[in-house]
Amino acid sequence: MFTGRLSDLIDDRPDEGIFRVSRAIFDDPGVFDLEMRRIFESGWVFLGIADQARDPHDFFTTDIGRVPVLVSRDGSGALGAFVNSCPHRGSRVAQTLAGNARLHVCPYHSWSFDSAGRNKSVKLKRAGCYAESFDAQSHDLPALPAFGEYRGFLFGSLDADVPPLETHLGEAAKLLDLVADQGPDGFELVPGAVTFTFQANWKLQLENCSDAYHFTSTHPSYIRILEQRQTANTGVAVKSVWESSDYWREDAQGVAGGSFSFPHGHVLNWGIFGVTEALPLFEQAEALAERHGAAKRDWMFNMRNLSIFPNLQIAENASSQLRVIRPLAPDLTEMRTWCIAPKGESAQARRQRIRQYEDFFNPSGMATPDDTVSYENCQRGFASRVEPWLQGYSRGTTASKAGGNPFSDLIDMKPARSVLADAQLGDETLFQSYYREWARRMAGVIGQ
Ligand code: FES
Ligand code: FE
């Protein structure tokens, strides 16, 4: 149980330009328990994409915080989301990550449920000597109290008392549009999900996706390889967008990108790569401009790292990755990651996307292991309380402005705050958006 105060965890004094976070929010078991209740189990959480259950009776399983969830498309084609826990004695009913099933049979005592979550049988019911009142109770899988879809992105909540999904996403929804609109028929997950764990707190992943400051220091071997590929014929068949850009060079000059922060903890950091053939989207460059206008098309080619608080991240740079963050313990996190792609792209573009994905994103690629090792190093350091306050939330303080800028205007997007900067800035003020939402949600259970 956590008995401290919120002001022991987040030191937010905007008038003085101070924003600090306590190490305790990353390793205190009492804080973790409250996070599960207040952040994950009583607000909107990303579940998956509609395309994961494309056909009638398709399903996939996921979790909201500690609670197992089943997302299933019924025989009429309607999507539903249910607590994946049997009303009989609580067992998880659907056991696999995904599949197609008209009937889900509980492995414990064989109660069964159809693809709409309705109970179809109670095993040996007639012999069960049940009282009449038993029949008056629903034996169905309970539907999630809130379930919503935005452009194929599915969200659920274990608490009905949440704002409408559109309100939760707000203006950040326009960044999901940049993903959904890349193909005329929407987007899909490329087969081949990867699941891995790291021994550190889930918020390290939340931060790292938005952390432009770490790139040149955490990934030196990748950068050396980029330099070699720029200057030597290395025989690598598929060029990465990083090689055609100077964005990652510490001596790169000029305005290269920046960050946007939104209410409810969503953030984006971004950079300009240009409409380059190093990106698999290039084959659609003209068609996208015709369909959506050049400004929106150009935004689709920008490097973008989007976090939808608390558990969805979409990184589009070398390739395109969708990540789902699943906290397991204060110091243990599971990641599920997919390559995400517009439906209907050519085989050559898909190949380029997958090769670049393997190169950069996979846990066996050249970036992800560097990051997870850093998370674990941080976690070890969090054990100290000699000086509990961390200082890594301050870069960009004087560059952060209320509202948007000409770049957000291009897609008619109105963020709460923005930073426009060269790559060296490595803005950290966008993390403040995570922790202000975090503090807002925790305020009900932790004293001020
Ligand atoms: Fe599911 Fe008993 S727990 S049938
Ligand atoms: Fe990294």
- Inside any domain, residue 25: no
Residue 233 CB neighbour total at 10 angstroms:
7
Look at residue 212 and give its three-state secondary structure: helix
**Is 189:51 a contact under the CB 8 Å cutoff?**
yes
| pLDDT tens digit sequence for 17-46 | 999 999 999 999 999 999 999 999 999 999
Ligand 1 mutation pick, 88, 93, 103, 104, max ligand atoms within 8 A of CB: 88
Q: What is the pLDDT of residue 226?
A: 80
- Helix segments in 124-264, DSSP class H: 132-136, 165-169, 173-180, 202-209, 215-218, 220-231
The Cα–Cα gap between 230 and 224 comes to: 10
For residues 130 and 174, membership in a common domain is answered with no
Which atom from ligand 1 is nearest to the alpha carbon of 106?
1
Which atom from ligand 1 is nearest to the alpha carbon of 111?
4
**Is 353:210 a contact under the CB 8 Å cutoff?**
no
Q: Which among 426, 428, 425, 423 is positioned nearest to 253, based on CA atoms?
A: 423
Ligand 1 mutation pick, 93, 95, 106, max ligand atoms within 8 A of CB: 106
| Cis upstream peptide for 310 (omega within 30°) | yes
- Inside any domain, residue 27: no
The Cα–Cα gap between 309 and 268 comes to: 11
For residues 86 and 142, membership in a common domain is answered with yes
* Nearest ligand atom owner, CA of 269: 2
Ligand 1 mutation pick, 70, 95, 109, max ligand atoms within 8 A of CB: 109
Which CATH number goes with the domain that contains 194?
3.90.380.10
Last residue within a domain, chosen from 150, 183, 201 = 150
How far is the centre of ligand 1, averaged over its atoms, from the C-alpha of 84 (Å)? 11
Last residue within a domain, chosen from 150, 181, 197 = 150
**Structure-block tokens of residue 131:** 């009282």
Cα separation values, 249 from 136, 220, 298, Å: 67, 11, 22
How far is the centre of ligand 2, averaged over its atoms, from the C-alpha of 376 (Å)? 13
For residues 207 and 345, membership in a common domain is answered with yes
For residues 143 and 244, membership in a common domain is answered with no
How far is the centre of ligand 1, averaged over its atoms, from the C-alpha of 105 (Å)? 9
Look at residue 73 and give its three-state secondary structure: strand
- Inside any domain, residue 204: yes
For residues 199 and 133, membership in a common domain is answered with no
Q: What is the pLDDT of residue 248?
A: 67
The Cα–Cα gap between 218 and 145 comes to: 42
**Is 363:333 a contact under the CB 8 Å cutoff?**
no
Ligand 1 mutation pick, 82, 84, 108, max ligand atoms within 8 A of CB: 108
For residues 141 and 183, membership in a common domain is answered with no
For residues 345 and 302, membership in a common domain is answered with yes
How far is the centre of ligand 2, averaged over its atoms, from the C-alpha of 387 (Å)? 26
Q: What is the pLDDT of residue 360?
A: 86
Last residue within a domain, chosen from 81, 115, 150 = 150
The 8-class DSSP code of residue 53 comes to G
- Inside any domain, residue 5: no
Ion ligand 2 neighbours, Cβ < 5 Å:
371
- Inside any domain, residue 137: yes
- Inside any domain, residue 93: yes
For residues 254 and 298, membership in a common domain is answered with yes
Q: Sign (positive/negative) of CA torsion 220, 197, 27, 393?
A: positive
Structural domain of residue 82, as residue ranges? 45-150
Q: What is the pLDDT of residue 223?
A: 85
- Inside any domain, residue 212: yes
For residues 178 and 322, membership in a common domain is answered with yes
Which atom from ligand 1 is nearest to the alpha carbon of 123?
4
How far is the centre of ligand 1, averaged over its atoms, from the C-alpha of 122 (Å)? 9
Pocket of ligand 1 (CB under 6 A): 86, 88-91, 106, 108-111
How far is the centre of ligand 2, averaged over its atoms, from the C-alpha of 4 (Å)? 33
Instruction: Flag residues of the chain having pLDDT under 70.
Output: 234-239, 244, 246-248, 252
For residues 146 and 176, membership in a common domain is answered with no
The Cα–Cα gap between 175 and 353 comes to: 20
The Cα–Cα gap between 269 and 259 comes to: 4
Q: What is the pLDDT of residue 237?
A: 56
Q: Which residue, by CA, sits nearest to atom 4 of ligand 1?
A: 109
For residues 110 and 196, membership in a common domain is answered with no
Domains in the chain: how many in total?
2
How far is the centre of ligand 2, averaged over its atoms, from the C-alpha of 114 (Å)? 43
- Inside any domain, residue 296: yes
Which CATH number goes with the domain that contains 136?
2.102.10.10
| pLDDT tens digit sequence for 293-304 | 999 999 999 999
For residues 220 and 128, membership in a common domain is answered with no
